[in-house]
Amino acid sequence: MYLYFKQYEIIMASIDLRNTVREYIDKADIRLLKMIKALAESYQNDEQELTLSEEQYQMIDKRKEAHVNEESNTLTWEQVKQNARNASQ
């Protein structure tokens, strides 16, 4: 029951937010409309950039396989921090 109400709250909040944004858009001047358009385009471009290519997936698989087979050099978190400290000196 809690999950149902929580999801209902999220849906209603989303609807309220959409309505509020529509009100702003309906009253907006050209400057605000251009900003909203740029924001939407930037958001869409960010979403597209998050997708990995097949080549990138293959590289990740090769690195994972090398790690599992202990063919790669790994460092502990402490070693990584120490290396970063040493590099900044």
> Could you tell me the mean pLDDT of each successive run of 10 residues in the chain, 89 residues long?
68 88 94 94 78 88 89 87 88
The token pair that represents 23 in the structure block: 């009100």
How far apart CA 65 and CA 62 sit, in angstroms, is 5
Q: Which candidate, 16, 34, 33, places its Cα nearest to that of 24?
A: 33
pLDDT of 43 reads: 87
pLDDT of 48 reads: 66
How far apart CA 29 and CA 4 sit, in angstroms, is 39
Q: Domain coordinates of the chain in residue numbers?
A: 1-51, 54-89
pLDDT of 80 reads: 92
The number of helix segments (H) and strand segments (E) in the chain equals 4, 0
pLDDT of 4 reads: 61
pLDDT of 5 reads: 65
> Does the predicted TM-score (pTM) go above 0.85?
no
